Amino acid sequence: MASRAPEAALIDLAHDLPPGDVQHAAYQLYAAAPYLQAGGVVLAVVDPGVGGGRRALAVRGQKLWYVAPDNGLLSLVFELDPPTLAWELDPEAYSQGPISATFHGRDVFAPAAALLAAGFPASGLGEEVDPASLVRSGPGISFSTAGEVLTFDRFGNAITNLKPQEVPEAVHVVGRHLPFVRTFSDVPPGEALAYLGSAGLVEIAVNGGSIQEDLRLLPGAAVSLQLAEEEPPSLVSD
Amino acid sequence: MASRAPEAALIDLAHDLPPGDVQHAAYQLYAAAPYLQAGGVVLAVVDPGVGGGRRALAVRGQKLWYVAPDNGLLSLVFELDPPTLAWELDPEAYSQGPISATFHGRDVFAPAAALLAAGFPASGLGEEVDPASLVRSGPGISFSTAGEVLTFDRFGNAITNLKPQEVPEAVHVVGRHLPFVRTFSDVPPGEALAYLGSAGLVEIAVNGGSIQEDLRLLPGAAVSLQLAEEEPPSLVSD
Amino acid sequence: MASRAPEAALIDLAHDLPPGDVQHAAYQLYAAAPYLQAGGVVLAVVDPGVGGGRRALAVRGQKLWYVAPDNGLLSLVFELDPPTLAWELDPEAYSQGPISATFHGRDVFAPAAALLAAGFPASGLGEEVDPASLVRSGPGISFSTAGEVLTFDRFGNAITNLKPQEVPEAVHVVGRHLPFVRTFSDVPPGEALAYLGSAGLVEIAVNGGSIQEDLRLLPGAAVSLQLAEEEPPSLVSD
């Protein structure tokens, strides 16, 4: 990329994501996008289907450009920054070296991102495709009171897909009833809590611990919000 | 930061520190500070009390600027670079976006560091506070023969707070008596040793292994130096 | 390095390699070298013998410069980019600070790499030595059908030293017989496969899993290619 776009400023958003975990990376993009400068090019590669049938894409969002496999990695960020135009990458059209079957991050995606960052037109990277055809996968953002665990951060805090419209009183997960507070130190060390995370989504955690380990949570675990006017369900243990 | 201080050179000192381990990060700052250019701005965020009562700070040291939570993270580096002026960050005064309760690295500290790096005056970041009021925590550097384990590096070598005034003969830790040598290869593979580490502090290690695992050491374990003129204590095994 | 070579573009090739694993790092250099710009300076430090007798080197390859310990770390990359000139680093000649016995990455190698990148002549870094005297260790690249496992990537895929001259039909390893295919998705999830990796070497893997864990492979495990014209050996289980 330094060869093809020597003027571009490269920002390493993350390099150590869990291998093959498309949904985790989709969340990271969703969380980062509001802080990136409009017109920037986002290179995102978590690509367990590398070399198989999935398409490789360049996408023009309303705010940012994206270069990524068409495997759902962009599903969440598209809720903030909808795709307006898309191209299926044809590396034969722009790559200068051999194209391996297993490392498209290096051979397909990074060269395309560098060319876009250097001002090369997307039409030179491949055929235009319908943005409506792009793969959407995983849970979307939920604006209701029912949702699920999207993924975990490196502290073991669980990030849900719930974007609340009002401040809830509590959060229910796997039979537990967690107080909704502002931050970790609002509960004693070792206690579980729920709070509004830094991406605007509800998160659940243990102060000074890992709720992922303590409750043996997995992505997809059902989570629900208890709003102020509701009675707490009578059968929930604590 | 790239938006607020586009001219600043960003150097990533460390991004993978043990979660919530303030003392480990305090050591890393102590070790790095002598190699940073005077006048630079150090952004340091290990912040288990995020969103609680701890203050957020900008500090003018004699050599460097620091932007960090007031939780002891700067305790060790202040022994090399004492604080001369300090300000309590008021993100309402300078932040341009919403301020989450759990990610002050992004919403409070990074914007302040970027503004300082861009030449913005610290007085615009918040109220001045007394440098003597800043939190100091954890063991300081010991210039005597008695000290303790501060933390571990990623190889499992233990770093102590002992800064010897002369070359010791041996080091005592948890009933063990380790020869003080120049470097790893001065003892056979698998053997324990003590040596002067790269930050000028005594370290203890196993050549090709992990003393952290082998001796099940924890931070705070007592460590003492045996100087040349002393007799070795008679009851120490090994 | 930012002080000594402020104009140089720094590219972080890898910062999280397995501690002390010279052969793993040797492979990473071999894989990266074709993508680096000619004339660039490669700083490579995996240095379990730090402070002992091994030499510290600056090497002029045909394409790139290298600054590294003389412990075999450059063995594989020299097969692509042979050394033409070499110097034994004498940090007393160019370093501006104290030289620790255990952190030559900071005190010996990085300053030398920065000086080379800034245009300082290699002759000012130490005495010239014979390139034929440089340590070569570990298996070289094999152009035949018999080889071994070099190392593993972070997904648990095994990289061998086999650079095939024709497309094989299958790969044998520890009594297993793996189909040679183009990419992961050419076998069902959970199945083992062999393929041409992104560095041009044969790799073996499990689609969606870790062959390192599944077969408890270690570096050095024997691997052989079965070419198209051969009969498969009759006693190989699958």
Residues A206/C154/A46/B99 CA torsion (nearest 10 deg): 30
In three-state secondary structure terms, B8 is coil
Distance, in Å, from the CA atom of B7 to the CA atom of B12, rounded to the nearest integer, reads: 16
Which residues on C lie below 8 Å from B195 (Cβ)? 101-102
Residue A231 pLDDT exceeds 70: no
- Looking at residue A173, its pLDDT comes to 96
Residue C238's pLDDT is 47
Mean pLDDT to the nearest integer, C121-144: 97
Question: What are B146-179's pLDDT values in tens digits?
Answer: 999 999 999 999 999 999 999 999 999 999 999 9
Instruction: Average the pLDDT over A189-200 and give the result.
Output: 96
User: Hey, what are C22's tokens?
Assistant: 């010279």
Cβ within 8 Å, pair B154-C2: no
For residue C100, which residues of chain B lie inside 8 Å, CB to CB?
196-198
C198 touching A, CB under 8 A?
Answer: yes
- Check CB contact of B102 with chain A, cutoff 8 Å: yes
- Residue in chain B lying closest to A37 (CA): B3
Chain A residues touching B103 at Cβ < 8 A? 197-198
pLDDT tens digits, B87-117: 999 999 998 888 999 999 999 999 999 999 9
Report yes or no: A68 and A105 within 8 Å, Cβ to Cβ: no
Q: Under an 8 A CB cutoff, do C195 and A101 touch?
A: yes
CA-nearest of C65, C29, C47, C19 to C105 is C47
d(CA C10, nearest CA chain A) in Å:
10
Q: Cite the DSSP H helix spans in chain C.
A: 22-32, 77-80, 104, 110-117, 211-214
How close C234 comes to chain B (CA, Å)?
43
In the predicted structure, residue B233 carries a pLDDT above the cut 90 = no
Q: Could you tell me the pLDDT band of residue B71, with boundaries at 50, 70 and 90?
A: very high
**Per the CB < 8 Å rule, is A184 touching B103?**
no
Count interface pairs A-B at CB distance under 8 A. 45
Check B103 against A198: CB less than 8 A apart. yes
Q: Identify the CA nearest to C83 among candidates C132, C49, C38.
A: C132
Residue C236 confidence (pLDDT) above 80: no
Nearest CA in chain B to C100: B198
Answer yes or no: is pLDDT of B238 > 50. Answer: no
The amino acid sitting at B171 is: V
The mean predicted confidence, pLDDT, of chain C is: 94
| Cβ neighbours around B106 below 10 Å, total | 18
With CB atoms and an 8 Å threshold, state whether B183 touches C3: no
Q: What is the mean pLDDT of chain A?
A: 94
pLDDT band of residue B16 (cuts 50, 70, 90) is confident
Beta bridge partners of B203: B159, B195
* Nearest-CA distance C121 → chain A (Å): 25
Q: In what order do the strands lie in the sheet with C65-69?
A: C41-43, C65-69, C56-61, C83-89, C126-129
Give the mean model confidence (pLDDT) for residues B117-123. Answer: 97
pLDDT at A228: 83
Pair of tokens at residue B88: 């309590």
Q: CA-CA distance, A26 to A138, in Å (whole number)?
A: 9
Cα gap B45→B53, rounded to integer Å: 16
- C171 min Cα distance to partner chain A (Å): 17
Mean local confidence (pLDDT), B129-156? 96
Instruction: Flag whether residue A154 sits within 8 Å of chain C, measured between CB atoms.
Output: no
Residue C83 half-sphere exposure, CB side, CA atoms within 13 Å? 25
Residue C172's beta-bridge partner residues? C177, C224
State the smallest CA–CA distance between residue C134 and chain A in angstroms. Answer: 31
Query: Distance (Å, rounded) from C-alpha C168 to C-alpha C229?
Result: 9
CA-nearest residue to C182 within chain A is: A101
Q: What is the pTM for the complete model shown?
A: 0.90
Which residue in chain C has the smallest CA separation from B156? C19
Q: Are the C-beta atoms of C93 and C126 separated by less than 8 Å?
A: yes
| Angle CA C13–C19–C20, to nearest 5 | 105
Residue B207, pLDDT above cutoff 80: yes
Q: If we measure between CA atoms, which residue out of C2, C27, C3 comes closest to residue C17?
A: C27
Taking only the tens place, the pLDDT of each residue in C32-85 is 999 999 999 999 999 998 888 899 999 999 999 999 999 999 999 999 999 999
Q: Which of A9, A37, A184 sits opposite B102 (nearest CB)?
A: A184
Q: What is the mean pLDDT of residues C165-190?
A: 95
* Residue B171: alpha-carbon gap to chain centroid: 22
Q: What is the pLDDT of residue C16?
A: 84
- Please identify among residues 39-78 of chain B the ones whose CB lies closer than 8 Å to any CB of chain A: 48-53
> Tens of pLDDT along A13-64?
988 899 899 999 999 999 999 999 999 999 999 999 888 889 999 999 999 9
Judge whether B208 is closer than 8 Å to chain A, CB to CB. no
pLDDT at C232 over 70: no
Q: Is the pLDDT of residue C223 over 90?
A: yes
Q: What residues of C are in contact with residue B196 (Cβ under 8 Å)?
A: 100-101
Q: What's the Cα-to-Cα distance from B208 to each of B173, B175, B186, B216, C217, rounded to whole Å? A: 19, 22, 12, 16, 21
CB atoms within 10 A of CB A131: 16
Q: Does A220 touch chain C (CB under 8 A)?
A: no
Is the predicted pLDDT of residue A229 greater than 80, yes or no?
no
Q: List phi, psi (to 5°) of A67.
A: -125, 120
**Confidence label for C132 from pLDDT (cuts 50, 70 and 90):** very high
Q: What ipTM goes with this model?
A: 0.86
Q: Is the pLDDT of residue A232 over 80?
A: no
- Please count the helices (runs of H) and the strands (runs of E) in chain B: 6, 12
From A155's Cα to the closest Cα of chain B, the distance in A is 7
- Smallest CA–CA distance from C10 into chain B, residue: B11
Cα separation values, C113 from A97, B92, C4, C60, C68, Å? 28, 44, 9, 12, 9
- DSSP character for C46? -
Burial A178-211 (b: 16+ CB within 10 A, else e): bebbebbbbbeeebbbbbbbbbbbbbbbbbbbbb
| Other C-beta atoms lying within 10 Å of the C-beta of residue A228 | 10
Residue B231 confidence (pLDDT):
57
At C130, list the tokens: 């014979």
